[in-house]
Structure 1
Amino acid sequence: MNYLKKNFVKFIELVLSLILAIGSFTVFAACPLSEEHVMACHYAQLVVTTLGVILVVQSLAAVIISNEKVKLGITLAQIPTAVAVFLVPGTIFSLCMMSSMRCISIFQPAVRVISAIVFVVSVADVVISFIKKNKQGVSK
């Protein structure tokens, strides 16, 4: 129980990363592939899925590894990854022209909300780590 309590924020990051990675090609996937051509939103979906898997690996490593400095480094690496995921749909990759298309109405908002939450949780995790470190330094 102590392990779960100690790594609670890491588990939240892991769950959010899994939702991002799996949801990007299932629940909130971009527009379906057309037989005539592949739209740019499909490539945005592939990049989001890839970055989501990277976030999953980072989060899982942070849960498994016991060294606090390494965990902090992993969490610091998650912050720019979350920012990159946020920017993929609509900024780095153009999406469809019509706002009624699935990539704009479902994919982009879902990716941006989840990646923003991952960003906030990761920043909070870094702040919590520094607060814990300062409390331990004061008590010694």
Structure 2
Amino acid sequence: MQRGHRRIAFLLQENRYGGDLESEAGFREGVAAAVRREITGEIVHHDGTLDGICTSLDILLAGRVRPTALLVARSGYALTVHTHLLRRGVRIPQDMAVLCRDDDAFLDWVVPRMSRYAVSPVAFAKRVYLMVTRLVEERPIKETGVKVVPAFLAGSRFSG
């Protein structure tokens, strides 16, 4: 939304896991909060297969109004989305921005560069270390539900 997108879709697998449900709820909340600014968002599910992802994308692309940004859960799925959109003639990021909710080392080698969110492994390891140390020392753990806030890594930007 901060980059001017008004139509955003979130693509994730039908069989949702841990953070997927929270991500979906957060997406819905964000879109609801931005509705006054004429932001629309939709959630599109796929079955986790290559064909399923491509079919879900094709349905999305055939819609009357295409999204200008696509958030994708899981890095492997994001790579499939990226390459399928390019195969269909969708220019990234000019026609549609692709943003991966998750990070993976191979995403550094995708062209055009994909925006994504990344959690610092060092910061995460420190959090876990402190919690484990407290358990071993039989000290109370203050946090019961630790949330890790990822950093945004910008991808290629359209400049023309």
Q: Would the TM-score normalized by the shorter structure come out above 0.5? A: no
Query: Which structure has more strand as a fraction of its residues?
Result: 2
The two structures have a TM-score, normalised by structure 2, of 0.28
Query: Which structure has more helix as a fraction of its residues?
Result: 1
Higher RCO (CA-CA < 8 Å; seq separation 6+): 1
